[in-house]
Amino acid sequence: MSSVRKPFRYTYHAAVFILIGINLLAYIFSLFSPMTNIVFGMNFYGLLRRHWWWQAISYMFVHGSAQHLLFNMFGLGLFGTMVERAIGTKEFLLFYFLTGLLSGVASMVIYYLTGLYGVTLIGASGALYALLLLYATIFPRAQILVFYIVPLPAPMLVLVYTIIALISQVFGLKAGIAHTTHLFGFVFAYLYIKVRMGISPLKIWKEVYRR
């Protein structure tokens, strides 16, 4: 077995709730310290001038508003709990932090190449979009109620979110939202699942919905 695919011994420690707690504490702290997003969000000033390398991880724990925080934590609780139970805490944490780090860094590279030097990247959205794709791979028949009304299969929700992110990125819709990071979340999740787990999400979805 390749060392890349060597599985961890299964353990479950409910790390999702710890992550949610850290995010809540970080947001409360930011209300009293205006510099929080500058120091812990990911930006070129911190990375290139101050060498604050921790920003590649810490950006995932700071949010710009209560709505931003609640939306992300709802997604983390909804999808993360099921995924962590399915693959174990160690695998879950590796997946969460690796996809979050890579989607954030890749986004900063794109911002740099396009001259957007003033961007400060904050929020767990990149890792959450990655988590949604993994959830849809593990539970391809799961139905998710959109707006608590419309049931959509999890793989279909991945497709819908991908289309929305692509359109928003191309046409510059919903300024202030890191659509690039969302898309990279899906990309790195797909690569992780293929390389680390040896699974093809597309193949699974085809087999499930071909029947």
Say which residue, 160 or 18, is predicted with more confidence: 18
In the chain, pLDDT over 90 holds for what percent of residues? 63
pLDDT at 168 over 70: no
Mean pLDDT score of the chain? 88
The highest-confidence range among 32-36, 134-138, 141-145, by mean pLDDT, is 134-138
Distance CA 13, CA 11 (A): 7
pTM (2 d.p.): 0.91
The highest-confidence range among 88-97, 155-164, 195-204, by mean pLDDT, is 88-97
pLDDT at 56 over 80: yes
Pairing assessment for the beta strands 42-43 and 143-146 based on DSSP bridges: unpaired
Query: Which pLDDT belongs to residue 36?
Result: 92
Say which residue, 3 or 193, is predicted with more confidence: 193
Half-sphere exposure at residue 31, Cβ-oriented, CA atoms within 13 angstroms? 8
Residues 6 or more apart whose CB falls under 8 angstroms from that of 28 comprise none
Render pLDDT for 61-89 as a digit per residue (tens, 0 to 9): 999 899 889 988 988 998 999 999 999 99
pLDDT at 174 over 60: no
Distance CA 62, CA 59 (A): 6
Query: Which pLDDT belongs to residue 176?
Result: 47
110 and 103 in contact (C-beta within 8 Å)? no
Q: What is the 3-state secondary structure (H, E, C) of the chain?
A: CCHHHCCCCCCCCCHHHHHHHHHHHHHHHHHHCCCHHHHHCEEHHHHHHCCCCCHHHHHHHCCCCHHHHHHHHHHHHHHHHHHHHHHCHHHHHHHHHHHHHHHHHHHHHHHHHCCCCCCEECCCHHHHHHHHHHHHHHCCCCEEEECCCEEEEHHHHHHHHHHHHHHHHHHCCCCCCCHHHHHHHHHHHHHHHHHCCCCCHHHHHHHHHHC
- pLDDT-based confidence at residue 175 (cuts at 50, 70, 90): very low
Query: Which pLDDT belongs to residue 166?
Result: 63
Give bridge partners of residue 150 from the DSSP assignment: 146
